[in-house]
Structure formats: structure tokens, C-alpha cells
Amino acid sequence: MSKAKGKQAEKGKGSPSASTPSITLADISLLLDEHRAALLIRVSDIYPGQHTLHYHRQRIHSLEANATEVEQRLQQLEDAYSALKGDNETLKTKVADLEGRSRRQHFRIIGLPESIEGPCPSAFFSQLLVDTLGTEILASPPELDRAHRSLAPKPAPGGRPRPVIPRFHRFQIKDLVIREARRQGELNYKGHKIRLYDDYSPDLLKQRAEYRSPMAELYKRGYKPAFLFPAKLRITLPNGDRTWLMSAPEAVKFVQDLNIAP
């Protein structure tokens, strides 16, 4: 009997329940909560104030909404810019047309010494046209509304004189004078060589200058180009037909096609 009791006592000493406390589900849950809290603390240390994925999603949605609003405003600005650009081009064209038409009764006289006109420039230049072109062209001095030098500073003695800009009262007379001046070429007034030109705006002169190269080529080939107001080119072909070119690029292409043609 004593040996059996001793074996039972030894078995009792080796049993885990006798020496190790039992772990319950509550204990495991508590440990998980502790780990979760520690993890949140670590996250808050790295990203202050941003504890959840939900917060990041909200921020992303907010940024997407702001980006969409910015894109819409940019599109509105681009549309407004396009409209304003179109209006600006239209207004520039109208202003250039108005300026050109306001100058159509003007012309320029190049080569007259300063102050030769005296105190009555309109009367002086009106008589100058008769003396220069002849009474067969102008039976009497034409009526001028006004006449003045260009608004550049007065040159020093011996410097190049400023152009004179008279304004005819009637455009038809001005057109007659310019045509005759072109036909005669260089004119002479009391020993001074003078030339008469239309008075164009700087922008229009720039547009007309773009025709210089194709016009030179057309003259070489025997064509008869002629400028029409404001900056159009009329070409008389060798067979007598006429064609109109509305821009300098068209004139350049016209000459290029002539070079290609056999």
C-alpha cells in the first residue's frame, strides 16, 4: 500500500494543473488590447493626429474634390481667355481699318527742306502741287484741309528734313495726284528732288513690306503686280487675266508655283 501511495504522490507533483495557473480567453483579450493600444501609440508618434485609415481616405477625397474644382476654374479661365483673345483680334482689325481709312486723304511729301512752307503751309503745299505736276493735271490749287510736318523732333541744321503730311479735302483729287506722281517718278521743286507717297499706318506699312520679295520676282517675270488697299495684291497675267492675292504668304506661294511650273 505504501508503494502505491508514493507513486500517486509523484504523479501529483508532475501535473501542470498543480503548479501552473490556467490562462483564460479574458486574459488573451486583455493582452490583445494592450498590444493594440501600444501599436496606436507608435502610429500616433510617427503620424501625429492621423490614427486611422478612414482619416487618410477623407483627406484623399477632399484633395480630389479640390483638384476637380481647380480644373473647372482653369477651364473657365481658358474659355474666357479664348473669348477675350478673339474679341481683341476683332478690335485690333477694326482699329487698323479705321486708322487706315482716316489716312486715305493724306499723302506724304519727302525731300522738302525744313520751314520752306512758311506761315501758311496749306496754301504753300497746294500751290506746290500745281507747280510740280503742271496745270494740265491740276487746273487750280487743290483744297487742303491742313498740312504739317511729321511729329518727329525737328532735325538739327543739315539733318534729314521731316516728311510733310497734307490732307486733301477730296479723296478723288488725292488719288489723281498720287497716280500722276507715280507715273512721273521723282519730281523737282525749285531744285529739290521730292517724292509723293500715300500715308499709311506703321502696321499697314509692315504688312506691305512682306510683299517686297514676291513682287520683285513677279516684276522679273514680266507680271504686273499692283497694291490695293489695304494690303492686297492684284496681278495681271501675261494673257491679260487678273488674279488677287489677299496676303503675303499667298503671294509667296504664287511665286513658288511659278518656279515649279514647266
Per residue in 197-211, pLDDT (tens digit) is 899 888 888 888 898
E-state strands within the chain: 107-110, 144-149, 164-168, 187-189, 192-198, 224-228, 232-236, 242-245
Interatomic CA distance for residues 227 and 188, integer angstroms: 25
pLDDT at residue 68, rounded to an integer:
86
C-alpha cell at 242: 487678273
CATH number assigned to the domain comprising residue 181: 3.30.70.1820
C-alpha cell at 45: 508618434
Q: Is residue 32 part of a domain?
A: no
Q: How many domains does the chain have?
A: 2
pLDDT digits (tens, 9 = 90+) for 2-31: 444 444 444 444 444 445 556 777 777 777
For 242, the domain range is 204-260
Q: What is the mean pLDDT of residues 232-240?
A: 83
Cβ-count burial of 45 within 10 angstroms (0-12 exposed, 13-18 middle, 19+ buried)? Answer: exposed
Residues 195 and 209 in one domain: no
Cis bond before residue 163 (omega within 30° of 0):
no
Q: Is residue 44 part of a domain?
A: no
Q: Is the pLDDT of residue 225 over 90?
A: no
The residue from 169, 199, 229 where one domain ends is: 199
Residues 185 and 217 in one domain: no
Q: Is residue 87 part of a domain?
A: no
Q: Is the pLDDT of residue 167 over 90?
A: yes
